């Protein structure tokens, strides 16, 4: 008898009919002879509307209360799914994150899981019940409700699979698996049968929201293999596993797109030790997450430093940096939103060259201007005008031949 953890995302439980479908699938899994733990998200749109509600009563809602509010989304789904299963002829019990033994740190709205005590889940499993756990939430040692960041139900599922030493962890969603690029943006995108943790992590952290990046980080760290697949049919999805030798032959695995980026340039920064530290230290203290950073070569004793960030953080960054610009004697602070990032990901890039040249050439031929470039061992990313992002993704997807099969090393 195997133990299976299944996670159903918001659109898979988006209405009563879909919840009944999920109930049937879960019951069929148990009848197949397996023990089942199910993790569910809030019904689609619910988390967003709760956030909007909070903003209607407060310009800056307190984070502790936001967590109390947002946790209700998942709590609704666990109860509904357990009811649907109970009336479908099997026995299910719903557990909040706290009841499931999920203990987190106290960083409200983006808490990290500290540990899971699975005794309650095990007790119900041993009793032959299907256990339904609310994703995205936990509690601190002191009993405060916390949430795990957007997309956090993925993390709940992976962490529970690890804590229970499950045989299988399935992430059910509204697409057939992980594609070479978001299929809603690139219609010719192809479903991948498998990819490595590292590639999934680079894709997730550069904008492929099909998996929450922290959940992939957790899976990689604790060696939890998982599968991303559709809740709308029974076809196999994408397996995310430890890297194998043959994976290195695939130069490019896929593309990611991240919209809503903004660019800040600090002009005329005196070229002396401590200037960059003053700028980025201030941003760090303000908890502003920075992505691509570029510093120009100094010709006249002064240089420019540019960086990107999420456009929602732009005003905060501007307010934070205005005094710093004066303090270090820089000339000006220029800010612009309306940028997006296109990333090309593949572990084969470690040992094969030419990817950057090919990417720049196809964007150039399409008349798309590159504003910034950043690279890591297995990724090349460019910042471009947001208006060009769909065209850029499609052009690059074609240039790397991703629709017809992986780009293999020659």
Write b or e for each residue in 245-278: b if 16 or more Cβ atoms lie within 10 A of its Cβ, otherwise e: eebbebbbbbbbbbebbbbbbbbbbeeeeebeee
If the CB atoms of residues 10 and 118 are measured against ligand ADP, the closer one turns out to be 10
Residue whose CB is less far from ligand ASP, 16 or 401: 16
In the bound complex, what is the minimum distance in angstroms from residue 283's beta carbon to ligand ADP? Answer: 28
Degrees (nearest 5) of the Cα angle 258, 261, 265? 140
Q: Any contact of residue 209 with ligand ADP (CB under 6 A)? A: yes
Round to whole Å and give the CA distance between 255 and 402.
9
Residue choice 6, 29, 30, 41 for contact with ligand ADP (CB under 6 A): 41
Structure tokens at 18: 């879909």
Span 142-171, contacts to Mg ion by CB under 5 A: 151
b (16+ CB within 10 A) / e for 69-106: bbbebbbebbebbbebbbeeebebbbbbbbbbbbbbee
Residue 207 touches Mg ion, criterion: CB under 5 A: no
**10 Å Cβ neighbour count for 364?**
11
Which of 136, 179, 197, 226 is close enough to bind ligand ASP by CB under 6 A? 136
- Compute the CA torsion angle 324, 330, 331, 336 (nearest 10 deg): -60
For position 10 contacting ligand ADP by CB under 6 A, the verdict is yes
- Give the residue, chosen from 40, 71, 163, 210, that forms a contact with ligand ADP under the rule CB under 6 A: 210
Rounded-to-integer distance, Cα 114 and Cα 112, Å = 6
| Residue 151 binds ligand ASP, judged by CB under 6 A | yes
Site string (103-142) toward ligand ADP, x via CB under 6 A? ----------------------------------------
Distance CA(163)–CA(119), nearest Å, equals 10
Residues 343-362 within binding reach of ligand ASP (CB under 6 A): none
The single residue listed with the structure tokens 């612009």 is 336
348 near ligand ADP, judged by CB under 6 A = no
Tell whether residue 199 is a contact of ligand ADP (CB under 6 A): no
User: Residues 6 or more apart from 64 whose CB is under 8 A from it?
Assistant: 108, 144
Binding mask 314-333 for ligand ASP (x = CB under 6 A): --------------------
DSSP 317-355: HHHHHHHHHHHHT-SEEEEEEEEEEEEEE-GGGGT---H
SS3 content of the chain, % helix, strand, coil (to 5): 40, 30, 35
Question: How far, in whole angstroms, is CA 77 from its chain's centroid?
Answer: 21
Task: Kindly list the distances between the CA atom of residue 241 and the CA atoms of 233, 269, 405, in Å, as whole numbers in the listed order.
Answer: 23, 45, 19
Distance CA 347, CA 244 (A): 11
Residues 40-59 that bind ligand ASP (CB under 6 A): 41-42, 47
The C-alpha atoms of residue 140 and residue 106 are separated, in whole angstroms, by 6
| Minimum CB–partner distance for residue 232 and ligand ASP (Å) | 17
Specify the residue, 90 or 135, whose C-beta has the smaller distance to ligand ADP: 135
Residue nearest to Mg ion (CB): 151
Window of 8-16, 57-65, 275-283, 395-403 that interacts with Mg ion by CB under 5 A: 8-16
Residue with Cβ nearer ligand ADP (81 or 288): 81
- Should residue 177 be labelled a site residue for Mg ion when binding is judged by CB under 5 A? no
Judged by CB under 6 A, the stretch of 48-56, 177-185, 275-283, 364-372 that binds ligand ADP is 177-185
210 binds, among ligand ASP, Mg ion, ligand ADP, none (CB under 5 to 8 A by kind): ligand ADP
- Considering CB distances under 5 to 8 angstroms, the limit depending on partner class, which of Mg ion, ligand ADP, ligand ASP, none binds residue 150? ligand ASP
Integer Cα distance of 407 and 410 in angstroms: 9
Site for ligand ADP in 295-314 (CB under 6 A): none
d(CA 132, CA 387): 42
Q: How many residues bind ligand ADP (CB under 6 A)?
A: 19
CB 337 within 8 A of CB 292: no
Question: Count residues contacting ligand ASP (CB under 6 A)?
Answer: 13
CB nearer ligand ADP, residue 43 or residue 103: 43
* Least distance CB 61 / ligand ADP (angstroms): 23
The single residue among 20, 91, 150, 358 that binds ligand ASP, judged by CB under 6 A, is 150
Rule CB under 6 A: which residues touch ligand ADP? 9-12, 41, 151, 173-175, 178-179, 181-184, 208-210, 254
Binding footprint of ligand ASP on the chain (CB under 6 A): 9-10, 41-42, 47, 73, 135-136, 150-154
């Amino acid at each position: 008898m195997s133990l299976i953890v299944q996670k159903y995302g918001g659109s898979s439980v988006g209405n009563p009919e879909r919840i009944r479908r999920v109930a049937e699938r879960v019951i069929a899994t148990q009848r197949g002879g397996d023990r089942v733990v199910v993790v569910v998200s809030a019904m689609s749109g619910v988390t967003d509307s709760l956030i909007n509600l909070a903003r209607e009563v407060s310009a800056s809602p307190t984070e502790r209360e936001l967590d109390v509010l947002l946790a209700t989304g998942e709590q609704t789904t666990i109860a509904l799914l357990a009811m649907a299963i109970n009336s479908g002829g099997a026995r299910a019990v719903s557990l909040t994150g706290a009841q499931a033994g999920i203990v987190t740190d106290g960083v409200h709205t983006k808490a990290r899981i500290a540990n899971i005590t699975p005794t309650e889940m095990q007790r119900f499993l041993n009793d032959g019940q299907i256990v339904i756990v609310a994703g995205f939430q936990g509690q601190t040692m002191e009993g405060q409700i916390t949430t795990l960041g957007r997309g956090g139900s993925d993390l709940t599922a992976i962490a529970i699979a690890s804590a229970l030493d499950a045989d299988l962890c399935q992430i059910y969603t509204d697409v057939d698996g992980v594609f070479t690029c978001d299929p809603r943006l690139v219609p010719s995108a192809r479903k991948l049968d498998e990819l490595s943790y590292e590639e999934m992590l680079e894709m997730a952290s550069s904008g492929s929201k099909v998996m929450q990046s922290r959940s992939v980080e957790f899976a990689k760290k604790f060696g939890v293999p998982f599968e991303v697949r559709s809740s709308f049919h029974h076809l196999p999805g994408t397996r995310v596993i430890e890297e194998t030798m043959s994976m290195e032959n695939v130069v490019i695995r896929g593309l990611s797109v991240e919209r809503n980026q903004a660019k800040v340039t600090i002009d005329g920064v005196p070229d002396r030790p401590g200037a960059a530290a003053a700028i980025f230290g201030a941003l760090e203290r303000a908890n502003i997450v920075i992505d691509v950073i570029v510093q120009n070569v100094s010709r006249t004793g002064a240089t420019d430093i540019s960086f990107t960030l999420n456009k929602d953080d732009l005003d905060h960054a501007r307010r934070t940096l205005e005094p710093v610009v004066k303090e270090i004697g820089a000339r000006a602070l220029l800010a612009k939103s309306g940028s997006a990032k296109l990333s090309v990901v593949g572990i084969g890039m470690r040992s094969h060259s030419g990817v950057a040249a090919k990417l720049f050439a196809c964007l150039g031929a399409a008349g798309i201007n590159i504003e910034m470039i950043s690279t890591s061992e297995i990724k090349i990313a460019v910042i471009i005008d947001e208006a060009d992002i769909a065209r850029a993704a499609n052009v690059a997807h074609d240039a790397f031949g991703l629709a017809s099969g992986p780009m293999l090393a020659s």
